Structure 1
């Protein structure tokens, strides 16, 4: 169930490549025993919801969403009412901000229901020492941990009795329940606990969100076990002009670089390094210099294509390192701007882009100030395939 309170919709925040809500739905649906899924959303969140679930492929199990009420309890009732016409035998209710629920936990709840209980909820045993305090925060009592559990979701129920309980609670203006198990208890249903998992966290605070994102990053990186490195090299001669384009920025200079495009040797070398890591040709095979459409083209077009090719393979760029070889212009004053430009083009954080510069000690064509050379290394990660 999503939050229909109109508060900041944290369920639509990104964890990695998908939203918290999409990950929660996907995790719940990972159990083949979940035959249908219905999400309750706020009326203002329809576009956000559609964008969040657009990439999910659940084999037709995801129903159209239902608009919720002003409280969580009212939203659950709206969802139950939407199912009532073709009522299931059992229903699971899950928080839209618990994205890490496991198949084991889901199936444990289902098994308890099939074992004859009216209701069952995932929960974890309390292991910390509990203290009760007075209004001045002085400890007044140490609370026994015996038989104490921290409730989680999913919470599972026989559908008919739960719907009756929610309708009765609404009719009697009983609105203080904090979860659906409490509604069921109030109505006299037999509610049992099944073992949940510590990893089934609820994202409530900013700290929770950062912890969840860290967990997702570790999972994504672990899945990208095909680690590849490619190298690139490019060189362009000087011609009359008033600036050079390097790393996507214009640097004032007494000459320009000559080439079919904007002759950005740094971006060209990076582009070739990425294509090399993909074993997918080079910049010339993707953008032939014989093709007039690329005459004078900005080199970020080429680099963005290479980045897109990595994404199409399900991977991402882990690191880029480029070295520029020239006597002039001086690269140091422009290094940070170049790093920022490359990071923006590639969609990377700044700490994943290195720009270095050196001279050739006045040796060779770069030493004679006839042009600029660039070397680059790209490290990418792809899903492992045999």
Structure 2
């Protein structure tokens, strides 16, 4: 059941024009990117959303398309993105966006780019209601102010605010219903939101809880919201794997034999390992997993074994350097899961010491680190007691928009 978003970025922004130096609000910068990009990324993080149609002012379409292409090349949102020219009225821009939707689309979300703080939980509530069978869904907030109708400068009547709601976007619709509502309304019926078209068509509109932070950038004083906008964090996962051969005293290898360490903890009586550095297979896997969270390459690129400076270097240094790079790119680690794979030695007696040592290296609580071990039942490289493997999985949160190509401290 294909869900697409029509992202309206076609307004003229006249109320903000002078305060924003003539820049239309959808093109104001937020975290170094145009305002509409924050909304696009939020929809792209919803697994049900297959694509986004961005509707730009016709006069700005070519320049906006070029900037959008550059943004996508640098930060691929992971969903299809197309553009369409806007119209004179809001509903004309929506109609243009609807015309650009693929035939497979069944549900459409319509969102104002001037609401850059919509997040996946809010979007998800609208989508869930659609998938549950509702045909038109809008997010709303309770009205806290008393609302009065005015006439000629005096109060005509006072409304019961318990019966009122403030409406937000995204608004969700079964696509066929919204198209019918557009056709029914004709050219002479002007609306400020798309649900009004459906209401005019005589169809029910369902409400879900809105979000107080889903503010609209409308007036000059709203520009302060952009300066103080919190960084958006996205979940990330990094995977690391490493293997080391055991030293054979009868057949000296090209690399020196090192006493075994796992997680920086010495394993007394274990076979020696062949390695350029200190040969800590577990920390090497951990470094790769950390780097994986921030698209930082691999341990071999940062610490090549061809460099004599790394001869017998403690792998804890590699971990520290990887952490510096990862933190410079906005990573906060939340959990680490480590697995050692070997026939010998037995890891169980050392697991808690390894766990505590890794937690200290990462600056984490021990509850955020798990260490376990397994064998390969006598099969393969490790089963024949020729070496040892390690797998690391790192999960965390990373600030969206951090440049993955930036060097540490840049």
Q: Taking structure 2 as the reference length, what is the TM-score of the superposition?
A: 0.50
Correspondent of 2:223 among 192, 196, 209: 209
Q: How far apart, in 2, do the equivalents of 1:175 and 1:9 lie? A: 26
Cα distance in 1 for partners of 2:53, 2:215 equals: 21
What's the secondary structure of 2:161's corresponding residue?
coil
Task: Give the equivalent residue in structure 1 for 2:184.
Answer: 168
CA–CA distance in structure 2, aligned partners of residues 164 and 119 of structure 1: 12
Structure 2 gap ranges (5+)? 1-6, 14-22, 234-324, 331-401
Matched, 1:23 2:42: no
Displacement of 1:70 in angstroms is: 1.5
Asked if 1:104 is matched to 2:118, the reply is no
Partner of 2:343: none
> Are 2:9 and 2:36, in contact at CA under 8 Å, matched by a contact in 1?
no
8 Å contact 1:22–1:56 — kept in the other structure?
no
* Gap runs ≥5 in structure 1: 222-309, 316-381
Give deviations 1:105-162, integer Å, cap 9, x for gaps: 11111111112111001111112222233322x3343221122111100100001111
- SS class of match (1:202): coil
Q: Structure 1 CA distance, aligned partners of 2:95 and 2:228?
A: 34
Q: Tell me the secondary structure at the aligned position of residue 177 of structure 1.
A: coil
The residue number in structure 2 matching 1:57 is: 76
CA deviations on 1:203-261 (whole Å, 9 max, x unpaired) are 11121122232124xx379xxxxxxxxxxxxxxxxxxxxxxxxxxxxxxxxxxxxxxxx
Q: Which of 4, 10, 21 is residue 10 of structure 2 equivalent to?
A: 4
Tell me if the contact between 2:142 and 2:165 (Cα under 8 Å) persists in the aligned partners: yes
Q: Is the 8 A contact 2:56 2:64 kept in 1?
A: no
In structure 2, the residue matched to 1:150 is: 166
Q: Secondary structure at the match of 1:153?
A: coil
**Residues 1:108 and 1:184: Cα distance change in structure 2 (over 3 Å):** same
> What does residue 47 of structure 1 align with?
63
Q: Indicate how the Cα distance of structure 1 residues 103 and 220 shifts in structure 2: closer, same or farther if over 3 A, else same.
A: closer
Q: Which whole-Å CA distance do the structure 2 matches of 1:173 and 1:51 have between them?
A: 33
User: What number of residue pairs does the alignment pair up?
Assistant: 225
Q: 1:294-309 alignment to 2 at 5 Å? A: none
Distance across 2 between alignment mates of 1:149 and 1:165 = 22
Structure-2 change in CA distance of 1:14 and 1:79 (3 Å)? same
Q: Structure 2: how far apart are the matches of 1:133 and 1:44? A: 38
Q: Deviation per CA, 1:163-215, whole angstroms, max 9, x where unpaired?
A: 1211332xx32341111100111112221111011101111112112223212
Q: Tell me the secondary structure at the aligned position of residue 94 of structure 1.
A: strand
Query: Which residues of 2 match residues 232-271 of structure 1 at below 5 A?
Result: none
CA distance in 2, matches of 1:25, 1:3: 11
> Could you tell me how far apart the structure 2 residues matched to 1:93 and 1:33 are?
15
Distance 1:149-1:102 versus aligned 2 partners, 3 A rule: same
1:73 corresponds, among 91, 115, 121, to: 91
CA distance in 2, matches of 1:214, 1:35: 31
**In 2: Cα distance, 1:72 partner to 1:211 partner:** 24
Q: What does residue 185 of structure 1 align with? A: 199
Name the counterpart of 2:49.
34
- Output aligned runs, 1:321-340, within 5 Å: none
1:89 alignment partner, SS class: strand
* Match runs of 1:94-133 below 5 Å: 94-133=111-150
Cα 1:213–1:183 change in 2 (3 A) is same
Task: Find the aligned partners of 1:95 and 1:147 in 2 and give their Cα distance.
Answer: 25
Cα deviation code 1:44-82 (max 9, x no counterpart):
2231343254443112x1322011211110010111122
Question: In 1, distance between residues paired with 2:149 and 2:204?
Answer: 29
- 1:141 aligned partner: 157
Q: RMSD in angstroms over aligned alpha carbons? A: 3.0
Q: Distance in 2 between matches of 1:164 and 1:140?
A: 36
